Structure 1
Amino acid sequence: MSLDNVRLSQPAKDQLIKLKRITGIKNWNTLCRWALALSLQDPAPPLVRDVTTDSNVEMTWRTFAGTYGDIYLALLKQRCLDDGQEPTEENILHTLTIHVHRGIGHLAGRQDLKNIGGLISLALA
């Protein structure tokens, strides 16, 4: 495992396609950042611990994180520590994967998410 590339499952890809249509956000990475932030704010660990990253959606860490890569990395390391894990590269990647997937699922399941304003409302809540 390497943090160089971020891969998604086919169900997550399908949910992102829906979210792109609803929000008008065109880039996978932007939606994945929203999903990560949403999931990380929940102190409970994600129920799904293993994700099969079988879709053709793949992005580099740099594309995923953008100019805030250091901040996202620090958040992931802290989450590993909070969950009682050593912040190794493998654990950080696993934490990233399960939290992005949980966040995508939460976003895709929201009935009140009708446009980009819904994402902003989530951030302000």
Structure 2
Amino acid sequence: MPPLLDGLRILVLEDELLIAMDVEQLCRDYGAAEVVTARQLTEVDEQELPSRFDAAVIDLMLGGVSTLDFARRLSRAGMPFVFASGYSNPDEIEGSFPDVRLVTKPYSGDDLIEALAAACGRAKAA
């Protein structure tokens, strides 16, 4: 059985460097072909997102800036993603993104990978 993220190209939006590095390594360990991390939304070229990436892991706040508008654009583009955040009010997320998993920090690597794989249609959501 191939790894859960086998061959996928993943975008990681995370402003805490150590967490970003951990998530990048996790994705690679689970077979991701490419993992790109960005610490600010300004580092992301939205025009190339759907063609360059298969899925994304998004922190809800990057340097104090909400990523919800960015997530809405991803959703409209049909790009699967999960939220990974220490954000403590999931109601706003569930209201705007009922089908998107919120993996709360501190999270286990398995939880994050399973949520991401499920978003990509590769595994059953827990």
Higher relative contact order, structure no. (Cα contacts within 8 Å, ≥ 6 residues apart): 1
For normalisation by structure 2, the TM-score amounts to 0.31
Give 1 or 2: higher strand fraction. 2
